[in-house]
């Protein structure tokens, strides 16, 4: 695995395992930090010595390429972890972490995390399992970028979002706090105009509807079948 690809391991859900009540008194209020909307949690080249767990809010992981274009690598939600590359040897951050809304996160040092892993076998096994699944997701995303056209990549992102964060409402699925068209473009290596066109086409076909707050998928299986 190359250093360029390890970033995708940062999307790990530890909501059911990592919390102060389950890990005893090793975590204190000093570990809990609040970040305002638009505030950077860390930036490239800063020391990579802490790991963050999202209690509430959403965090964007990304970087800026040589031409000055922002690249979104992941958008993480409540119960997910980021910045854990420090425990496998990363010394300086290569990406930024940005609070997309008011966020409350638990911040612990790399050494504290290593001690927690030693003391809690369930946490160690859980992280190993999730890291393996994230590698598979990374490979699938790379294959999508190589083999699928822009329309299919956008639809694939919608389907994956439903599978991960969707809530069923009758025969439909809703994704709340739906991200902007530009963010979808950044995640699918397309343009904002292309995302807007594809979403409007899908809405005209009555497969989904959306606004700034949510996306409602009416025909999930039809969307799946349209991916080529």
Q: What one-character-per-residue DSSP string does 118-161 give?
A: HH-HHHHHHHHHHHHHHHHHHHHHHHHHHHS-HHHHHHHHHHHH
User: Average pLDDT of each block of 10 consecutive residues along the chain (228 residues)?
Assistant: 40 50 56 92 93 90 83 84 81 93 90 79 71 71 84 94 90 91 90 96 95 91 91
Give Cα separations from 143 to 58, 162, 223 (angstroms): 26, 20, 19
Q: What is the pTM of this model?
A: 0.77
pLDDT of residue 124: 73
- 148-225 has which fold? Arc Repressor Mutant, subunit A (1.10.10)
Write b or e for each residue in 152-163: b if 16 or more Cβ atoms lie within 10 A of its Cβ, otherwise e: bbbbbbbbbbbe
Fold of 6-133: Jelly Rolls (2.60.120)
Question: Which among 35, 9, 143, 144 is positioned nearest to 97, based on CA atoms?
Answer: 35
Structure tokens at 17: 């395992």
Give the span between the Cα atoms of 209 and 218, in whole angstroms. Answer: 8
In the chain, domain spans: 6-133, 148-225
Give the Cα separation of 215 and 198 in Å (integer).
Answer: 14
d(CA 77, CA 114): 23
């Amino acid at each position: 695995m190359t250093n360029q690809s390890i970033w995708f391991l940062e999307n790990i859900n530890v909501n059911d395992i990592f919390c102060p009540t389950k890990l005893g008194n090793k975590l204190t209020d000093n570990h809990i930090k609040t970040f305002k909307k638009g505030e950077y949690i860390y930036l490239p080249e800063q020391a990579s010595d802490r790991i963050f767990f999202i209690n509430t809010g959403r965090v964007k992981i990304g970087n800026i390429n040589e031409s000055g274009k922002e690249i979104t690598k992941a958008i993480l939600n409540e119960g997910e972890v980021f910045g854990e590359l420090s425990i496998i040897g990363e010394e300086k951050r290569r990406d930024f972490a940005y609070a997309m809304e008011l966020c409350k996160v638990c911040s612990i040092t790399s050494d504290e995390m290593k001690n927690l892993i030693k003391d809690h076998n369930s946490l160690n096994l859980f992280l190993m399992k999730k890291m393996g699944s994230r590698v598979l997701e990374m490979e699938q995303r790379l294959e999508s970028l190589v083999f699928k056209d822009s329309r299919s990549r956008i639809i694939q992102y919608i389907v994956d979002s439903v599978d991960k964060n969707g809530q069923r409402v009758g025969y439909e699925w809703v994704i709340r706090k739906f991200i902007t068209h530009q963010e979808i473009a950044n995640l699918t290596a397309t343009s904002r105009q292309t995302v807007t066109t594809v979403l409007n086409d899908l809405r005209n076909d009555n497969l989904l509807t959306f606004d700034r707050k949510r996306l409602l998928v009416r025909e999930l299986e039809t969307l799946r079948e349209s991916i080529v």
